Each structure stands twice: as C-alpha cells, then as structure tokens.
Amino acid sequence: MSAGLLILIKFTLLSGIVLMYVALGGCFSEHSGVINIALEGVMVIGGLFGILTVCCIPKNLPSFLIVTISILVAMISGMIYSSLLAFASINLKADQTIGGTALNILATAIALVVVKHYNSTITTNNAQSPKLNYDNSLFIFNVGPFTLNVFIILGIVLLVLSYFVLYKTRFGLHLRACGEHPQAADSVGINVYKMRWAGVLISGALAGIGGMAYIVPSVQEWNFEVGVGGMGFLALAVMIFGKWNPGYIFLGSLFFAVFKSLANIYDSTFLASFHLTKEIYNMMPFIASLVVLMFTSKNSKAPKAEGIPYDKGMR
Amino acid sequence: MADYVIEMLGISKYFPGIKANDNITLQLKRGEIHALLGENGAGKSTLMSILFGLYQPDEGVIKKDGKVVKINNPNDANDLRIGMVHQHFKLVECYSVLDNIILGVEPNVAGILQKQEARSKIMELSEKYGLQIDPDAIVENITVGMQQRVEILKMLYRDNDVLIFDEPTAVLTPQEITELMSIMKKLATEGKSILFISHKLAEIMTVADRCSVLRKGKYIGTVDIKDTTAEGLSTMMVGRKVNLKLEKKEATPGEVILDVNNLTVASNSSKKDAVKNVSFNVKRGEIVCIAGIEGNGQAELIQAITGLSKQKKGKLTLCDKDISHESIRYRSEHGMSHIPEDRHKHGLVLDYNLAQNIVLQRYREPEFSKFGFIKFDAVKKYAEKLIQKFDVRCGQGAETIVRSMSGGNQQKAIIAREIDKNPELLITVQPTRGLDVGAIEYIHKAILEQRDSGKAILLVSLELDEVMNLSDRILVMYEGELVGEFKSSEVDTETLGLYMTGAKRDNITKEATK
C-alpha cells in the first residue's frame, strides 16, 4: 500500500508539474487576451527540439550546460512556434481558436517529418521510425526514496515568479488589463498589441518547457506519432479550473495529475480489486475535466476580452 | 486678450463620404466650464477625439496655453495634461478602484508596484474635491456614480488641468447628476478647465459658463449662458424652433385596457423581490407613467407585464383577457406593443436589415409568409412604407443593416414597428434615452398621437422632465412598491423627488385595484 502511495505521489508530481507549466503558459496568454488553444502543439514542438538538442549536443559538455541549453532550446522553439499564433491573431486579427487548432494539427506533422529525417541521417536501418531515443539521466536525481527531476525544481520557481509577475508588477497589471478591457488599457497609453505579443510568447516558452518536461523525465524513447497525448488540452482545463490564477492552477494541476496517475498504479494497489482495464484509468483525467468544468465553468473568471482581436478603430 | 488654455482653430475632419467637422473653432478659457452642444452626429465626439489624440485633424491647429501642439495619441494628450471621461467608462471591471486609477502611470521601483504611495495621493485628491471612493472596492461592484468618480480621479491623479466630460450624465440617476454638477463646479473653482459635451439643455443651463454649439459638423456659435435661455440654445442646435413644452389636450380616459393585480416579481440581481404586490391599471386614452430612480423594480415590472420573465404571483389582464401565463407572442398578438428600454438587447436584431427587423413579430402573418416561406417582396414593401411614414433615415432603405444606423433612427424604427401594429396597449420604457432634442420631440409627439387615438399607454421613465411633460397620471415606484399616485397637472418635481427617494409615501395599493 505504501509503495503504491509512493508511486502515486511520484507520478502525480511528474504529470502535475507538466500540467502546471502549460496551464501557467495558457494563463499568461489568456490574461493578455489571446486564447492559446495551440498549447498542445507548442508542447510537441518544445519537446521535439529540446530532445533533439539532448541528442545532438556534444556529450563532453558539463551536464549543467547540457540541461540548461536543451531547456532553453525548448523554450525558444515554443516561443517561435507560438509567435505564429501571435502574428495571426494579433496582427492579422484572425480567429484565435481556428488559428490555434491549425497549429495543433501542424505540430505533430512537423515533429514526424523532423524526427524521421533525423533518424535517416544517423542510421540507415529503421530510417522511417517516428521515435527518438535519448539519455534522460542528466535530468533526474534522487532525494531519499523520491526520484525528482530538474523540471520540478524549475517549475516551483516559475510558479512563484508567475504569481509575482502577474499580480505585483507593472507588467502584470498592464497584461491583465489588456485581457479584460483593451480599450481601457489603450486609453491610458498601454500598447495592447505589444502586451498581447508578450503574453503569447511567455505562454510559448512555458508550454515549450512543459512539452519537454512531459516527455524527458519518464522515458528514454518517445514516439512522436502520439504528440503529447492531450496534455495541452488537459492543461487548458486546469487553467479554467484554476480560475486563471497561478495558485489555484498549482492545486488544479495536482488534482488532475492524481487522476492521470491512477493508470500507473491500477495493477499494484487496492485498485486492482476493481478489475477494471487500464483504458478506464487512462480516460480518468479527461472524464474528470469534463465533470469538473461542467460545474465550475459557469462561474468562470475568464478574462472578459479574451478571444476578441483588438482593433484600435473600434470603440 | 482672454486667457485661453485650449484653442482649436479651424478644425476640419473628413471621413469617407462625410465632413464630420467643418472649420470648427473652440476656445476654452482657464477655469471655466464650457459646454459643447449638438445633436447626435453633429461632430462633438469627433472634435473631442481630435483633442484627445484619437484622430488627427485634416485641417486646423490646436493650441495649448497659446502654443501650437500636435496630439498624435492619448499619451500626448496626457502629457499636455488633457484628460477625458469617456461616455462608456474605460475601467477594468475586475480591478480595484486603486488599480484603475494608477493604470498606466503606476509608481514603481524596477517594475514592482508601489501602491502605498499611490494610495495616499488618491485619498488626498478624493478629500480635496469631495470625490468619495473606496480604493479597495472592485469596480464591478460599485455604483455607476462611483465609477464616474473613479474616472474623474484618474484624470486628477495624472494632474490633468483640462478635463473633457463626454455626455457624463447619460448613465446617472437624478441624484448622481446633481452631485456631478457640484463636483464639476468645484473642479472649476480649483482652476481646472472643463469641456462638457451634452445635449441636455437643463444641465448646460445649470452648470456651464459658456456654450459652443455645433450642427451637422459646422460651428454655429458660442454664447454666454447667462445671456441665453434653453429655448435659444435649442434653436441654435436644431436650426429651427423646437417646442420643449409639449402641447397636449386633457386626457379622456376610457375603459381599462391593462389591469395589474397584486403582482410580485423576483429580482434580476438579488434574492429579494423586485416588485412587491403591485396593483394598478391603464385606461384607454391616457398615458400612465411609472416614475422612480433606476433599479426600484421598474425593469422587472415591465418584464413581467410583457412576458419576458415570469411573475411569482399576481394577475395580469389585457382587454379583459387573463394573460398572466400567456407567451410573449400571445401578448404581442393580442394588442400589446413594447418599446423596450434596451433597444439593442430587446428591440432589434442588429445584424438583420431594417425590413427584417420591422416584421420581426409579424413575419408569420399571411400578409408576409406562405407555407412557411417569407414573402420578401411584401416585407420590403411594408418596410418601405413605414420608413416613409415614420421618417426613418437609413442609408440603403429597407436593406440597411440596423447596426449601422444612428440611435435615433433605430429607435424610430422600433416605434414605427410597434405603433403600426395598431396595439391596444403601448408600453414604452425610456423611449428617448440617449437621443437628441429633435428626436425626442418627434417621439413625444408620436406617443401623444397614440394616446389621442385612443390607445392606452404605459410609460416608464427616469427623466423627470419627460415624466412631467408626457404623462397624465404618475405612479411613483420605490423599492418595488407603488408609493404615490398623482395627476401630472397637480404635482411638481420636488414632490415627486421626495416620493422617489422614499422620503414620503402614501398607501395606494388598494385604491388602484378598484
């Protein structure tokens, strides 16, 4: 039982921190007024280029540098990919949901092309494999009975930082004003377009790390055909459940992560006595999000102007 | 030479197809309250947008303190200490009052907010000018009056000395208007210069020192308020003599058309009942007005009578038929017309064209449809007839998308639709809200004509002038109850005010049911 509990905690932390990164990302984007439904796609891109960096970087570099550089690459590739969304929805005033959906579809495709091409350059057999193999040992360390990874530490730091930035700084006050009432922000001299770009880019960076944090710590091989398995969408649910507030988002991520982790312990604990298949448990977080959102979305605290392209001329 | 703080000289602004401002000159003296008067579409807002940097003039110059300045955006205006309270407030609703005031000019150290500093400055200003606020309240929870004080404090916090008020009284209750007037006077005595955009003559006469008048984009003239009268101003504004006082015959009430008996309605916003046990009737050939301060249950009362919401208990009778539980369509087809308060929400489908809006309730009648298909020719013809008859001005005739029409013409379209249905009972809520003198005169006349042709009219209005002018019988509503009933010829506004604020009340519920 206690071994089961330990495993539950381990997996809850693993996926909880991923959900938190991505939901925080969504939170920045939506507070600026842009619905970032492309989080799923951004995670794929961030994970892809982060892992490629781990694969390609010279192995004789200090491990600290390898970790830092690959995470930075994940962040930057996430930012670049989400800048497509920013350009479409802020400058071209395109529909944000449609733009985001397109980016989600595109991301998995890009990942497959890149991975297959990469595999064909390093080996002649199995050239069409959609899988990447990598070494994740640098990202993991043990504290007592717990296996932790760098993403957990970094995540906690970014959580606190996010709260501070959103609610205690001038930047945060401006950002949230753009998502609530862009006309008001504009009338006091805040550049709405700039703030929205900032929001989307920050969300890209966080979701990029999120993608890497999802893939790297738990396995040494990843099949990019599955993308990130709906974690980006789950993170959107966490963000809504978390009322667009970093503190609640943290709690929400843990809540959903528990459901996600049930699939990892179903055969080793008391859950085994229910004789349910693994698929049922795999569905749990999504069913939970459906139920939870049904009850909570009514009193949602969504930024009022999110999803509406800002047009200076409209007053 | 007079000491002008702002001079706008020879300003012209062209938009595709129209000259919004044509060679306009406006000179604002230091420490005065200067009213800018004009009908809707006369170019007031354009002119102020130019002064505030939202538009660039095509011709003309702006001088601040005698020096020519260029105002490219609101930031430039702010640097020149020009501030503006917009007609629709620019407040972030989920922010605190304090955050809204400092937004954009936050005191900070390395980007980190220093709110304590801001708080003391705000409280100081609040005390100095008598602008009572609660800095920690969230904007969406405070009254419209306080929101306006927040907007004023926003300007003062930025040390603005030219304050523009764009139709500031449109959203206020009579009490809040009085308060705003005294705040404006206080600001002026403290040396601020105020531009006050309005088309309400009474307010201009009370508060302004001088008044500039625009008509159809042209500058008509500037007058000293002490040398003029409301009639004089309205003639300047409209270009012809306007009857501010309606000429009307004594009403000759006939049989009861609408009978409301012990009606109780739940509130839209709180748990309490908004309408409590209200009884009254409206007779053929009279205008009955429900007067009261906004939010005392008038909205809920009308929603229950028109069928937009269900009453908790009570009986409604229209022309001797019990309609208490009938649908909106039934009521509409059996003699009830409704000119709603919010013409955008309940009166029109803004993205439909004018013809479709005009047959919104009648499209099923054989005249307009056959086997479920709409006869578009008949609809169009009918719409064109009403456009003619009611003088609705619209760019592309029956095909005009209603959203693109001016407020006054949207209202005319609704009135055309509702009156031409030939109802027994015409319910009209705030029929002239936000409209200019010309349109108000037209609408008042139309309502009066309906009365004289033997309709029963139920009017809800927050404007005491309108109440006194138009109605035959006045019922005052306070906290969901009818607290007074008067003949309009036998009561004055002061008395009505006492009843409206709850300072006085009679027990009239029994009597009205008779």
- What percent of chain A is modeled with pLDDT above 90? 60
Chain A residues with CB inside 8 Å of B95's CB?
173, 176-177, 180
Amino acid identity of B29?
K
DSSP-assigned letter for residue B482: E
Query: Hey, are the CB atoms on A181 and B103 less than 8 Å from each other?
Result: no
Question: pLDDT higher for B216 or B371?
Answer: B371
Tell me the pLDDT band of B514, cut-offs 50, 70 and 90.
Answer: very low
Q: Is B109 on the interface with A (CB under 8 A)?
A: no
Amino acid at site B453 = S
Q: Nearest residue of A to residue B99 by CA position? A: A173
Highest mean pLDDT among A33-37, B244-248, B406-410: A33-37
CB contact under 8 A, B108 and A170: yes
Instruction: Provide the mean pLDDT of chain A.
Output: 89
Instruction: State how far the Cα of B320 lies from the Cα of A268, in Å rounded to an integer.
Output: 76
Residue B46 has pLDDT above 50, yes or no: yes
Q: Please give, rounded to a whole number of angstroms, the shortest distance from the CA of A27 to a CA of chain B.
A: 16
Q: Packing angle between helix A39-56 and helix A231-241, nearest 10 degrees?
A: 130
Residue A301: per-residue pLDDT: 79
CB neighbours of residue B44 within 10 Å? 25
Q: Residue B241: which H helix or E strand, with range? A: none
State whether A304 and B93 contact (CB < 8 Å).
Answer: yes
Q: What letter would DSSP give residue A17?
A: H
Residue from B90, B100, B105, B138 whose CB has the most chain A CBs within 10 Å, to mutate? B90
Q: Going by C-beta distance under 8 Å and a sequence separation of 6 or more, which residues neighbour residue B413?
A: B348, B354, B357, B358, B386, B390, B392, B394, B402, B405
Give the tokens for residue A119: 């595999």
Helix boundaries (H) for A169-267: 170-180, 182-187, 192-215, 231-241, 246-265
Q: CA nearest A130: which of A112, A153, A104, A145?
A: A112
CB atoms within 10 A of CB B403: 13
> How far, in Å, CA of B411 to CA of B70, rounded?
39
Model confidence at B511, pLDDT cuts 50, 70, 90, reads very low
Identify whether the C-beta of residue A221 lies closer than 8 Å to the C-beta of residue A208: no
Nearest-neighbour CA in chain B from A274: distance (Å): 46
C-alpha to C-alpha distance for B514 and B505, rounded to whole angstroms? 20
What's the pLDDT score for residue B508?
62
* Cα-only R_g, chain A: 20
B144 or A94: which leads in pLDDT: A94
B236/B214 Cα distance (integer angstroms): 8
CA dihedral B467, B469, B474, B479 (to 10 degrees): 10
Given CB atoms, is A177 within the 8 Å cutoff of chain B?
yes
A195-222: average pLDDT: 94
DSSP B184-235: HHHHHHTT-EEEEEE--HHHHHHH-SEEEEEETTEEEEEEEGGG--HHHHHH
Spatial neighbors of A169 by CB under 8 A, at least 6 apart, are B108, B111, B112, B113
* Contact check, Cβ <8 Å, B105/A188: yes
Mean pLDDT score of chain B: 88
- Is pLDDT of A47 > 90? yes
For residue B365, give every residue at least 6 positions away whose Cβ sits within 8 Å of its Cβ, in sequence order, or none.
none
List, in order, residues 6 or more apart from B377 with CB less than 8 Å away.
Answer: none
Nearest to A169 among B54, B104, B112 (CB): B112
CB B152 within 8 A of CB B85: yes
Give the Cα separation of B492 and B231 in Å (integer).
21
Residues, chain B: 514
B316 touches B305 (CB < 8 A): yes
Residues of chain A positioned with their CB less than 8 A from the CB of B54: 315
Nearest to B113 among A169, A176, A301 (CB): A169
Whether B295 has a pLDDT exceeding 90, the answer reads: no
From chain A, pick out residues whose CB is under 8 angstroms from the CB of B91. 181, 184
* Interval A16-43 mean pLDDT: 96
Map out the domains of chain B with their CATH numbers. Answer: 4-238 (3.40.50.300), 251-335+424-514 (3.40.50.300), 342-422 (no CATH)
Residue of higher predicted confidence among A253 and A189: A253
Give the pLDDT band of residue A7 (cuts 50, 70, 90): confident
B418-455: b or e for each residue (b if 16 or more CB lie within 10 Å)? Answer: bbbeebbbbbbbbbbbbbbbbbbbbbbebbbebbeeeb
Mutation site for A-interface testing, chosen from B85, B103, B158 by largest number of A Cβ within 10 Å: B103
Answer for the pair B58, B234: CB distance below 8 angstroms, yes or no. no
Residues 6 or more apart from B296 whose CB is under 8 A from it? B477, B478, B479, B480, B500
Residues B65-82, mean pLDDT to the nearest whole number? 90
User: According to the model, what pLDDT value does residue B342 have?
Assistant: 83
Beta strands B18-29 and B67-69: pairing type?
unpaired
The pLDDT of residue A207 = 97
Name chain B contacts of A190, Cβ cutoff 8 Å: 103-104
pLDDT in tens, B96-109: 999 999 999 999 99
A to B CB pairs, distance under 8 Å: 64
Residue in chain A closest to B155 (alpha carbons) equals A188
Nearest to A184 by CA among A51, A53, A310: A310
Tell whether A194 lies on the interface with B, counting CB pairs under 8 A. no
Whether residue B513 is predicted with pLDDT greater than 50 in this model: the reply is no
A313/B contact by beta carbon, under 8 A? no
Q: Taking Cα atoms as reference points, which of B193, B280, B235 lies closest to residue B476?
A: B280
What are the tens digits of pLDDT across the range B344-393? 888 899 889 999 999 998 888 899 999 989 999 999 999 999 998 888 88
Sheet strands side by side (includes B82-85): B67-69, B59-64, B4-15, B18-29, B218-224, B210-215, B33-37, B193-198, B162-166, B82-85
C-alpha span between B489 and B421 (Å, rounded): 31
- What tokens were used for A23? 């939901």
Q: Please indicate if any CB of chain A lies within 8 Å of the CB of B113.
A: yes
Task: Decide: helix, strand or coil at residue B474.
Answer: strand
At residue B160, the pLDDT reads 93
CA torsion through residues B391, B394, B395, B400, sign? negative
Residue B42: which residues within 8 A CB-CB, separation 6 or more?
B214, B215, B216, B217, B237
ipTM of the complex: 0.87
Chain A contacts of B73, Cβ < 8 Å?
189
Q: What is the pLDDT of residue A127?
A: 66
Q: What is the pLDDT of residues A139-167, one digit of tens each?
A: 988 887 777 889 999 999 999 999 999 99
pLDDT band at B175 (very low <50, low <70, confident <90, very high): confident
> Are the Cβ atoms of A180 and B94 closer than 8 angstroms?
yes
pLDDT digits (tens, 9 = 90+) for A248-299: 999 999 999 998 888 877 777 677 777 778 888 888 888 888 888 888 777 6
What are residue B369's phi and psi, to 5 degrees? -150, 155
What the block records as the tokens of A147 is 């296996």
Query: Comparing C-alpha atoms, which of A36, A18, A19 is closest to residue A82?
Result: A36
Find the angle CA(B86)-CA(B91)-CA(B96) to the nearest 5 degrees. 145
Calpha distance B186→B125 (Å, rounded): 12
For residue B138, give every residue at least 6 positions away whose Cβ sits within 8 Å of its Cβ, in sequence order, or none: B93, B94, B95, B96, B97
pLDDT at B510: 44
Chain B residues closer than 8 Å to A176 by CB: 92, 95
* Distance (Å) from the alpha carbon of B166 to chain A's nearest alpha carbon: 14
| pTM (two decimals) | 0.78
DSSP B73: S
Q: Average pLDDT, stretch B483-503?
A: 83
Q: How many CA atoms lie within 13 Å of B241's alpha carbon, on the beta-carbon side?
A: 2
Q: What is the pLDDT of residues B99-138, one digit of tens each?
A: 999 999 999 999 999 999 999 999 999 999 889 999 999 9
Q: Answer yes or no: do B99 and A174 touch at CB < 8 A.
A: no
Which parts of B361-436 fold into alpha helices (H)?
Answer: 376-390, 407-420
In this predicted structure, which of A60-74, B175-189, B209-223, B263-277 has the lowest mean pLDDT? B263-277
Q: Do A256 and A22 touch, CB atoms closer than 8 A?
A: no
Cα→Cα distances B405→B18, B67, B416, Å: 15, 39, 15
Q: Which helix (H) or strand (E) holds B36?
A: strand B33-37
d(CA B218, CA B241): 18
Query: How far is B254 from B284, CA to CA, in rounded Å?
Result: 5
Helical ranges in B44-114 per DSSP H: 44-51, 74-79, 97-102
